[in-house]
Amino acid sequence: MDSPFGLLAELTYRCPLGCAYCSNPLNMADYSDELTTGEWRRVLGEAAELGILQCHLSGGEPLLRRDLVEIVADAHDLGLYTNLVTSALGLSRPRAEQLRTAGLDHVQISIQAGDPVASDRIAGTPSFHRKIEAMGLVKELGWPLTVNVVLHRYNIDRVADVLALAEEAGADRVELASTQYYGWAWRNRDALLPSRAQLEAAEAVVRAARERLRDRTEVIYVIPDYYSRFPKPCMGGWASRQLTVTPNGDVLPCPAAQSLPLPRASVREDSLERIWAEAPVMTAFRGTDWMPEPCRSCARRELDFGGCRCQAFQLTGDAARTDPVCQYSPDHDLVDRAVEAANAASRPAGPPLIPRPHRVRR
């Protein structure tokens, strides 16, 4: 077992946006007792001792934490590479300058679409122009900039606009990440899943952009799991490279694992090192010994590790099943039916979305 190299520090699930594709938990009230500054300082110290090199500060919206500058400074002093994953709402010039002084290394800004009307509609609040201003501020202050867009049925047709926006902003990296169907996104899956024709058109746009921008901007494009023959190696394998600490201190192998019926592990009750090595939530699906057939005898078992445990549980009710995305899964028909519905000629033009509730105060 190797030590993890990445920590996703979910500082809060509070967020000023109401994105219907949000994968954060539905039961946000369970995470309102957020770790204090001192508790995060201890977690970061234990992470550095464990061998972690990267610290991704996320949420919700991490800028809603008043102690964010202190947390960044602590991480920097420990030698961790810090990345702020943000909607950029709240990234004022004074706050940005404080974060720069504290040692923040990288900024990743999410945007919902490439034009203001669609972006604000998907976000549930006017935010597009503030995001563009924040991108300019990030580049002005000398940070590397990643622009992140979650793709789905309502914005994938305009992916060229997103790429043009990122190019104009001088982004060093663009992540075109298809919706992962957990949390609010699961409740909206039937409305959000794009069609095959949409995906094919988007891929052509992305290929051309990669060629045009190859010397300036890295373009990452991740297609929806549902359209793949084989599942992705989720997080590089269960509890093998990264871990997540939620706002209330729960420790997980990935951001969606809180949905699984596994014993809870918390930094308020144990050390990060012991949780990583011994907690059932970490050891349950580590390696390949847990695998059922067809994964157990599959030549791909150490390539995709049976796929996503959270997706298997979401679709089948059993986290130990082969990810139904896999074409060899006995449950693959569950994915086939969802894809068939997404491509049906009778599919409604615009089914209503259930927005994530706005929550900015404790």
Strands (DSSP E) contained in the chain are: 6-10, 54-58, 81-86, 106-110, 145-151, 173-178, 218-222, 242-245, 251-252
Alpha-carbon torsion, ordered 93, 69, 241, 313, to 10 deg: -80
Q: Is 310 annotated as a binding residue?
A: no
Q: Determine if the peptide bond prior to 60 is cis (ω within 30°).
A: yes
Nearest to 261 by CA among 243, 244, 239, 284: 284
C-alpha–C-alpha distance, residues 177 and 212, integer Å = 20
Residue 65 structure tokens: 């934490």
Q: Strand 54-58 to strand 251-252: parallel, antiparallel, or no bridges (unpaired)?
A: unpaired
- Give the separation between CA 220 and CA 200, rounded to whole angstroms: 16
Residue 54 near residue 6, CB atoms below 8 Å: yes
Non-local CB neighbours of 79 within 8 Å, separated by 6+ positions: 48
Q: For tokens 């900015």, what's the residue?
A: 360
19 annotated binding-site participant = yes
CB distance 11 to 34 below 8 Å: yes
Give the whole-angstrom CA distance, residue 216 versus residue 192.
31
What is the spatial distance between Cα 184 and Cα 162, in angstroms, rounded to a whole number? Answer: 23
15 in a known ligand binding site: yes
The single-letter code of the amino acid at 47 is A
How many CB atoms are closer than 10 A to CB 23?
18
Beta strands 251-252 and 242-245: pairing type? antiparallel
d(CA 163, CA 169): 10
Binding residues for [4Fe-4S] cluster: 15, 19, 22
Binding residues: 15, 19, 22
